[in-house]
Structure 1
Amino acid sequence: MQNKIQSLQNNKIKLLLQLKEKSKVRKKEKCFIIEGKREISLALEGGYTITQIYYCHDICTYEQASKLTSNIHQHIDFFEVTTEIYQKLAYRSTTEGIIALAKYKSTTIENLLIPNKNPLILVAEAPEKPGNIGALLRTADAAQLDAVIIANPKTDIYNPNIIRSSVGCVFTNNVATGTMTEVIQFLKSHNINMYGAALDSSTNYTRQDYTKPSAIIVGTEATGLSDYILAHTTQNIKIPMNGVIDSMNVSVAAGILIFEAKRQRGFDD
């Protein structure tokens, strides 16, 4: 079903604008917006339910928009919007003319399932910048990690900037969120070794064995890992720094650590 919307005062458009800007509205409504063809396709492949699609005919036709969902057995309403409306809804400066409304999936750690009996997991403590979270999710997707856990999250995982910066990898990863206490309990209950990226009481990251169930834990660039985490890690690890500064971007550091673990596990070409 397709309809036309020509006013910014339309209630559906007002809700989309709120979902774009406000985390509390996303949490209350249990839905969020997705911009872009690739991101929408990845969400559908990841089992997300999409209820509505909005397209700007000058950029994306109905035929192009509906093609994305041709193999999906979901009822989706299509709405054509004006260029003015779409420019208000769009998050990117360059866009593809299509936005979807999707339902939340639970990310609570108590619902996290890890089929692999020898998992490799990334844990990020209290990341604040959506761009960093998106980069971590892209790295996790590239390495095909078993899970990404966000501990003490400072922003909701369906923030449009996380979706954008992750290039849709928020939908391709097995993502969970929880308090740091819940995360530590989860890792311990599954007998997963915890390797914390920290300078104190640490060894060179290449000297550890990540071939057994392992979690790579990274903190923020400003404060690093909390004392609570450091009190529970199996071993703290560090990347040797030969320059003037003693830290690097968290997503870069995580990538180095993750791919060392993958190398030890026989990462395929």
Structure 2
Amino acid sequence: MKYIQSSKNPVVKQWKKLLTKKERDLTRTYIIEGFHLVEEALKQEDTVLEIILVEGVDIPQKWNVDSVSISMVSDEIGKVLSDTETSQGIFAICKQKEGEHIIDQAATLMLLDGLQDPGNIGTIIRTADAAGIGMVVLGKGTVDPYNPKVLRSAQGSHFHIPIVRKDLHEVIPLLKERDIPVYGTALENGVEYTTVKPHSSYALIMGNEGNGMSNDLLTETDQNLYIPIYGKSESLNVAIAAGVLLYYFKNGQ
């Protein structure tokens, strides 16, 4: 086990860079924080590259970390790396594995078009995982899935469900070639979601929190759906709406 005391150490500076999308994309790695996320990551073979512990924090005995590099760091370094107000003092450097996932292997997909709120994206990934969705695809303009807030909100679902980043204009034709219906979400030219009979395979697109789906994507869908509002609220939160639709399709199969 290595011990690092100074926050000016080059290794620490490299770890800190992983809090930026640029460095995550460059190195194809990312940093996670907290016991739950690290434990979930360790369950996936060849994912965790290194574990970082703040002094005084111990690894649970049930964890198998024989093949993982471990570094002990000072409390000062822990504060530098932490993206939370109350850190648990444990981090891990993980390998991005989205390139290993093939869209042709998924029968049910959640597609995200330009979502900007990390909490919403993480919640949708977590909900898609719970609903048994085969894959989540993040289109252009959608926040990085390895953003610390997305990771925290998803609560480990990154390690359960394939997540890829790809232009949705390229994805939709691939799905149509496989006769997978593609559903958009919009009030205009849409139908109430309960009027659609669920299929065993489908793709569902959720749009930007403020502007909804882009108009050019709406023209490529097989059908656009909306959820009726019975009270005075103008709309549902996009993550809540995704949950309603995913479970409707799941329960109707």
Give TM class, smaller chain. over 0.9
Aligned 1:224-235 pairs, distance under 5 A? 224-235=212-223
| Structure 1 residue 138 corresponds to structure 2 residue 138 | no
SS at match of 1:170: helix
Taking the aligned partners of 1:107 and 1:201, their CA distance within structure 2 comes to 35
For residues 166 and 11 of structure 1, the distance between their equivalents in structure 2, rounded to whole angstroms, comes to 30
Aligned with residue 186 of structure 2, among 170, 186, 198: 198
Q: Which residue of 2 aligns with 1:6?
A: 5
CA distance, structure 2, for counterparts of residue 92 and residue 32 of structure 1: 16
Q: CA offsets, 1:130-158, max 9 Å, x none?
A: 11110101111111111111111433221
- Separation (CA, whole Å) in 1 of partners of 2:98 and 2:209: 28
The 5 A counterparts of 1:42-57 are 42-57=40-55
Deviation at residue 186 of structure 1 after TM alignment: 2.3
TM-score normalised over the length of structure 2: 0.93
Deviation at residue 66 of structure 1 after TM alignment = 6.8
Tell me by how many angstroms 1:95 deviates: 2.6
Cα 1:126/1:252, change in 2 over 3 Å: same
Match of 1:170 among 158, 181, 186: 158
Deviation at 1:246, TM superposition (A): 3.1
CA–CA distance in structure 2, aligned partners of residues 6 and 113 of structure 1: 47
Contact 2:116 2:209 in 1 (8 A): no
Cα drift, residue 7 of structure 1: 0.2
SS of 1:133's partner is helix
Asked if 1:94 is matched to 2:86, the reply is yes
Kindly provide the CA deviation profile for residues 240-262 of structure 1, in whole angstroms up to 9, marking residues without a partner as x.
11233432110000000010011
Q: Structure 2 residue aligned with 1:252, among 235, 240, 243?
A: 240
In structure 2, how many angstroms separate the alpha carbons of the residues matched to 1:170 and 1:69?
Answer: 20
Q: Cα–Cα, structure 1 residues 78 and 66, in superposed 2: closer, same or farther, change >3 Å? A: farther
Give yes or no for contact 1:152–1:179 (8 Å, CA) kept in 2.
Answer: yes
1:112 aligns with 2:111: no
Aligned-residue offset at 1:205: 0.4
Contact 1:107 1:177 in 2 (8 A): no
Q: Contact 2:98/2:163 (CA < 8 Å) preserved in 1?
A: no
Give me the identity figure in percent: 32
Deviation at 1:196, TM superposition (A): 1.0
Unaligned 5+ segments in structure 1 are none
Distance in 2, Cα, partners of 1:39 & 1:90: 14
Deviation string, structure 1 residues 200-231 (Cα, Å, up to 9, x no partner): 11111011011242111110121111122111
Partners of 2:113 and 2:142 within 8 A in 1: no
Q: Return closer, same or farther for 1:161/1:222 CA change in 2, 3 Å cut-off.
A: same
- Structure 1 residue identity aligned to 2:94: A
- Within-5 A mapping of 1:174-193: 174-193=162-181
| 1:14 partner amino acid | K
**Where do 5+ consecutive residues of structure 2 fail to align?**
none
Question: Contact 1:53–1:76 at 8 Å: present in 2 too?
Answer: yes
More deviation, 142-151/250-259 = 142-151
Q: Taking structure 1 as reference, are residues 133 and 107 closer, same or farther at Cα in structure 2, changes over 3 Å only?
A: farther
Deviates more, 1:203-212 or 1:38-47: 38-47
Work out whether residues 210 and 261 of structure 1, in 8 Å CA contact, stay in contact via their aligned partners in 2.
yes
The offset of 1:48, in angstroms, is 4.5
Q: Is the 8 A contact 1:107 1:175 kept in 2?
A: no
TM-score (norm 1): 0.88
Question: Is 1:238 the equivalent of 2:226?
Answer: yes
Given that 1:23 and 1:155 are in contact with CA atoms closer than 8 Å, whether structure 2 keeps it comes out as no
Q: CA deviation at 1:185?
A: 1.9
Distance 1:100 1:65, change over 3 A: farther
Q: What residue identity is the alignment partner of 1:19?
A: L
Alignment correspondent of 1:155: 143
Corresponding pairs, count: 253
Alignment partner, residue 213 of structure 1: 201
Measured on the aligned residues, the alpha-carbon RMSD in Å equals 1.9
